Structure 1
Amino acid sequence: MTKTELKDFLNEKVIQYNNPKFIESDPIQIPHQYNLKEDIEISGFLTSTIAWGNRKMIIKNANRMMELMGNSPFDFVMNHKEHHLEKIDGFVHRTFNSKDLTYFIKALNHIYTNHNGLEKVFSKYSNESSTQPAIHKLKQLFFEKSHLQRTEKHISDPLKGSAAKRINMFLRWMVRDDTTGVDFGIWKSLSPTQLSCPLDVHSGNVARKLGLIARKQNDAKALAELDKNLRELDANDPVKYDFALFGLGVFEGF
């Protein structure tokens, strides 16, 4: 199809999937339980961290994380005592276990106490056209405290070749104001123009079939290719097409 036909087709799919019904089966429902900005950020960050595998299991385990933090994630992160972390023992989602979650809670406290919060880190270290340098910097700051080496694998680094799907999804949630009530748009210091599409097996397969990616691996180079092509379709809101690519892949088996 022509570029105009492709754009029209994808725009129709965005309208089809970028609406409140999408929330019902998506992990974004977890941060939608909260009103406080910092609760939305922290619940969204932790949920996106475990967002791989079966979606029902992701949602179940993300809700479990929130319960373990008394359904007040920001208050828990900032005010927990060491004995409060004992209740986390036994938590597991695939390879993300209670030791990882315990460190993430301590690291988030470090980010909010010493680096003015997640939004500040991303706004400070993103460049005019991309948030990818800020993801790299977040990982450095996040692991400034003593930690197990194994826990580092749970934050991807785009400067080491990763497509960083989960953090890019989290950034879409925080930055993009879609007016339909799905994405939050609570980070006003960043622009949707800087965002990258969350690239996974579903969106990658659809993107290849539509000629948006030629590269076979779902890595940082493929993401750069996808970003370039999506920006040509809509420079102001390129990651709205995540809804189209994901919906076509997951719900339509395109």
Structure 2
Amino acid sequence: MKNKLVELADKYETKDFLKNDPSQFLYYYKTVRDTELCAFIAALLSFGSRKQFIPKINFIMNEADKSGGIYKWILDRIYKKTFCANDEKKFYRFYSYDDFFKLFLKLENILKKEKTLGEFIKKEYMTRSNVRGTKSAAVAKPTAHGTISPNLKTTTRAPSTYLVDIIADIFNDCSIVPSTKTSAKKRLCMFLRWMVRDNSPVDKGLWTWYPKKDLIIPLDVHVLEEAKKLKLIPENAGATRKTAELLSKEAKKYFPEDPARLDFALFGLGVDKN
């Protein structure tokens, strides 16, 4: 099985993968600050038919390029000329112009605090990574007999340090960003694959500060079905976060330090069959 999966990953993780895939937008800009924003927006729009969502991504980038690129377009609030608050007209599928306005407004506020989206997310990650399950200090308290007895120590559970959850929390007021606990968060997981995995002809690997062994595989429909056929996950597994974590854990048997590489093997195999 390992040889088969490695061969499939080698077959599909090539520059040709970029041609019809939203990962092509990783190479739309040359600067890190523009690339991160472009990739994030592209990932969030990557659902449904490629023939429908890729033109929508291109539309946004073309509008941004009129003002010098996506970073400037957002930071200088030029996006407000196209995406208005309370505009309920649909931009793509069930997301309105107002939904995208709120996303860009959130990104604008982030870029006012840090030079890049990546720097902002990195600081959030570093802060949360330092918060562990800790025991509170014992507090002395008088008893009925006048003696001193410490309270029982309590345990505080640390918040998730999965980067996908941190990003979901940051954008929890933006409907276009998946945030429910049971969601596989496929689009965010794909974005993180792009940003974190290095030494790849596809993925950029800009965020070297996050371990790629902790990435969760984007649970695309092709990935889900091929994983079932290869008995990597149960046949009745649904497209949930639990399944995504289970598959990512299984992937470490074949790609110990880079489990998300399995995404190429399964996705490529599924697309080739259709």
TM-score by length of 1: 0.84
Identify the residue that residue 157 of structure 1 maps to in structure 2.
Answer: 179
Q: Is there any run of 5+ residues in structure 1 with no aligned partner, and where? A: 1-5, 145-150
Distance 1:205 1:104 in 2: 32
Between 45-54 and 64-73, report the one with greater CA deviation: 64-73
Identify the residue that residue 221 of structure 1 maps to in structure 2.
Answer: 242
Helix, strand or coil at the partner of 1:88: coil
Between 233-242 and 89-98, report the one with greater CA deviation: 89-98
Which protein is richer in helix relative to its size? 1
Identify the residue that residue 204 of structure 2 maps to in structure 1.
Answer: 184
Note the alpha carbon deviations across 1:106-141, whole angstroms, 9 max, x for none: 11112222366432354442759xx86333332333
Q: Which entry has the higher C-alpha Rg, 1 or 2?
A: 2
Aligned residues: 235
For the Cα contact (< 8 Å) 2:164–2:192, is it kept in 1? Answer: no
Distance 2:199 2:164 in 1: 22
Identify the residue that residue 138 of structure 1 maps to in structure 2.
Answer: 167
Aligned match for 2:8, one of 13, 27, 36: 13
Note the alpha carbon deviations across 1:17-63, whole angstroms, 9 max, x for none: 11111111101112311110011110100010011011122211110
Distance 1:132 1:49 in 2: 21
Matches within 5 A, 1:75-114: 75-81=72-78, 84-88=79-83, 92-114=91-113
Matches within 5 A, 1:34-45: 34-45=29-40
Helix, strand or coil at the partner of 1:92: strand
Distance 2:247 2:121 in 1: 21
Q: Is there any run of 5+ residues in structure 2 with no aligned partner, and where? A: 131-159
Residue 198 of structure 2 aligns to which amino acid in structure 1?
A: D
Identify the residue that residue 118 of structure 1 maps to in structure 2.
Answer: 117
For the Cα contact (< 8 Å) 2:27–2:35, is it kept in 1? Answer: yes
Helix, strand or coil at the partner of 2:3: helix
Specify whether residues 223 and 134 from structure 1 end up closer, same or farther in structure 2 by C-alpha distance, changes over 3 A only: same
The root-mean-square deviation of aligned C-alpha atoms, in Å, is: 2.2
Aligned match for 1:67, one of 54, 62, 66: 62
For the Cα contact (< 8 Å) 1:68–1:88, is it kept in 2? Answer: no
- Percent identical among aligned pairs is 29
